[in-house]
Amino acid sequence: MIMTYLEAIADAIRVEMRTDKSVFMIGEDIGAYGGAFKLTKGFLDEFGPQRIIDAPISESAIIGAAIGAALNGMRPIAEMQFMDFVTNGFNQLVTVAGTTAYRWSIPVPMVVRGPSGGGVGANPFHSRNSEAWFVHATGLKVVCPAFPDDAKGLMAASIRDNDPVVFFEHKGLYRKIKGEVPEGEYIVPLGKARTVREGKHCSVIAYGSAVHMALEAAAMLEKEGIDVEIVDIRTLVPFDEDSVLASVRKTGRAVVAHEAVMTAGFGGEIAARIADKAFQWLDAPVKRVAAFDSPTPFAPTLEKAVLPNAEVLAHTIRRVCSF
């Protein structure tokens, strides 16, 4: 069935809620209003107010309630209306959820999900790509899908996982990206990358919106005789290091791309691992393409200047292939 990225995520949640009565949702405006992006439209009618819980505007309370429910045998899905606002519940998520399994040796099966990313003129308060914060906070799993089928399969896997998962949904992909999505129960295992394009001259390692940026750059460069391989890592934690290294050993060159800012972005971790474990196969330095170290501007022209794009990525690949 053809679905948008947003529809695929909603379908995964709906299927899991029908399958497992311990799964419920809690968040701001997810019930009667159907969610800020209408992802939960119709959920209240189907599942009722005991499982689709409209919460007050308190991310700390939402995540804290989800932790308590998870510790008592439920599988909560906590929505952040925008992932920027997870900062209000940062202590609950990082200090409590992220360490409880380690400290107590009990599962904490919960998902914190919501829209992230820029490119839609949503200003600095609704455009952050904050995935690197949670990679650094050990004990959490971090997921950033790029395609509708992956969005569905990874969401289902996240709900079924016994560890807390932070699930980033790029809002710019919600209705822009469509694709074939399996019906019914569908699982994509966490921690396995996906090679979305085979190539021989340079590997582009990306996730989320940057995968589509890479596909656009690869189409541009194909006309110039440069054959780009694209690896979508899909999950940052667990990280499929083996697939990334295998691609780099094959092509001898690597460019790492993401929409988040450059400094301390997850691309630096990927680049470091490539340099450490695939150095003898490299024919050029590992390069990164990312956003400028700046809040995301509201003005469309300024936002476009701050965020990475296919032209910048293509230029970087050309430089790497010129070595």
CA gap 232, 244 in Å, rounded:
9
Active site (annotated) includes residue 126: yes
Q: Which residue in 126, 170, 212, 258 is the catalytic one?
A: 126
Output phi, psi for 140, to 5 deg.
-110, 150
CA gap 81, 23 in Å, rounded:
19
Whether residue 238 is preceded by a cis peptide bond, meaning omega within 30 degrees of 0, is yes
The crossing angle, in degrees rounded to 10, of helices 5-19 and 148-160 is: 30
Phi-psi domain of 67 (left: phi exceeds 0; alpha: psi -120 through 50; beta: other): alpha
Structure-token pair, residue 121: 């003129």
CA dihedral 307, 310, 312, 314 (to 10 degrees): 160
Q: Which amino acid is at 3?
A: M
Can you tell me which residue has the tokens 């790497």?
A: 320
CA gap 97, 35 in Å, rounded:
24
Catalytic positions: 126
